[in-house]
């Protein structure tokens, strides 16, 4: 079970919302706690917003971060700059993350708490999506960005992400480069675990593997959607290949 700590100044608003939300959205593989550098009473608007959204607010209480300094947390997520500066309390944590949220307490009414709730909900959903599996054998972020820094490899990945599966011949024609050059880059991507090859008759197709970590999928999809014109010319060339072979296997194979 992974232990997660949300850390803030007063442990009275942001970190309480985060603790309750993470428990609500995550499964039993997470133990969630929150604490503050200078604990204060939990703001009543926390309970109001959580109740309105059907999130259990039982057993929320302010805790001093100092009282937890001897505990190991897999992830410590700070929610304000002051708490971020105090990460030294938990040097043995596997990951230290900072999410910057303005304190909603000075604002009148509950709208500031509603906005904080919605922002935390989006952050937690993304965190859970990207950390829901064992990624110990995956290529790391440094290696991934080195791979993507090459313009030709980046276009290969974008084309395959868009088309699901392509052959060496497809890529050679779409990219207007030699087959040996395309094959070298495909071999590098395959050896890094970012692509897999799959034979169908006389054809060999390259595709993203089924067990590719979600965070890598997310990066590729974000780059593709954030730069929709990146491979326009290549897509047009693919559409003009009259004898193009389409893979018969499904994306789940």
Task: Determine the pLDDT at residue 8.
Answer: 93
pLDDT at 36 over 50: yes
Active site residue 8: yes
pLDDT at 95 over 70: yes
How far apart are the C-alpha atoms of 114 and 18, rounded to whole Å? 12
Task: Determine the pLDDT at residue 135.
Answer: 52
How far apart are the C-alpha atoms of 90 and 70, rounded to whole Å? 8
Residue among 80, 189, 194, 231 flagged as catalytic: 80
Residue among 5, 8, 208, 216 flagged as catalytic: 8
Lowest mean pLDDT among 63-67, 82-86, 175-179, 182-186: 82-86
pLDDT tens by residue, 100-115: 999 999 999 999 999 9
Residue among 55, 63, 87, 154 flagged as catalytic: 87
Task: Determine the pLDDT at residue 134.
Answer: 54
* Percent share of the chain, pLDDT over 70: 94
Active site residue 93: no
pLDDT tens by residue, 120-161: 999 999 999 888 755 545 688 999 999 999 999 999 999 999
Determine contact, residues 65/35, Cβ cutoff 8 Å.
yes
Provide the Cα torsion 192, 195, 199, 200; round to 10°. 180
Task: Determine the pLDDT at residue 136.
Answer: 46
Task: Determine the pLDDT at residue 252.
Answer: 59
Mean pLDDT of 230-244: 91
Task: Determine the pLDDT at residue 236.
Answer: 94
Mean pLDDT of 178-196: 95
- Check residue 199 and report its DSSP letter: E
Give the pair of three-digit tokens for residue 60.
């929320």
Determine contact, residues 116/17, Cβ cutoff 8 Å.
yes
pLDDT at 238 over 80: yes
In this prediction, residue 220 has a pLDDT band, given cuts at 50, 70 and 90, of: very high
Active site residue 180: no
Task: Determine the pLDDT at residue 186.
Answer: 97
How far apart are the C-alpha atoms of 199 and 186, rounded to whole Å? 14
How far apart are the C-alpha atoms of 127 and 22, rounded to whole Å? 10
Lowest mean pLDDT among 84-88, 96-100, 122-126, 243-247: 84-88
* Percent share of the chain, pLDDT over 90: 77
Give the pair of three-digit tokens for residue 211.
């067990």
């Amino acid at each position: 079970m992974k232990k997660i700590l949300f850390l803030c100044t007063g442990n009275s608003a942001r970190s309480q919302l985060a603790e309750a939300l993470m428990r609500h959205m995550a499964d039993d593989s997470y133990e969630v706690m929150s604490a503050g550098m200078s604990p204060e009473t939990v703001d009543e608007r926390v309970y109001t917003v959580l109740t309105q959204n059907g999130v259990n607010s039982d057993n929320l209480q302010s805790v001093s971060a100092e009282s937890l300094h001897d505990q190991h947390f897999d992830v410590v997520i700070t929610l304000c700059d002051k708490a971020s500066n105090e990460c030294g309390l938990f040097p043995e944590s596997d990951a230290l993350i900072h999410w910057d949220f303005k304190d909603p307490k000075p604002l009148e009414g509950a709208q500031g708490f509603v906005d904080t709730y919605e922002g935390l909900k989006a952050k937690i959903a993304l965190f859970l999506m990207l950390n829901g599996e064992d990624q110990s054998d995956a290529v790391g972020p440094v290696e991934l960005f080195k791979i993507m820094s090459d313009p030709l490899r980046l276009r290969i990945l974008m084309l395959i992400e868009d088309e699901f599966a392509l052959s060496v011949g497809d890529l050679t024609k779409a990219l207007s480069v030699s087959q040996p050059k395309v094959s070298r880059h495909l071999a590098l991507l395959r050896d890094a675990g970012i692509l897999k090859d799959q034979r169908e008759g006389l054809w060999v197709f390259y595709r993203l593997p089924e067990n590719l970590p979600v965070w890598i999928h997310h990066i590729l999809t974000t780059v593709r959607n954030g730069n929709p014109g990146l491979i326009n010319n290549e897509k047009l060339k693919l559409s003009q290949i009259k004898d193009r072979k389409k893979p018969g296997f499904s994306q789940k194979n």
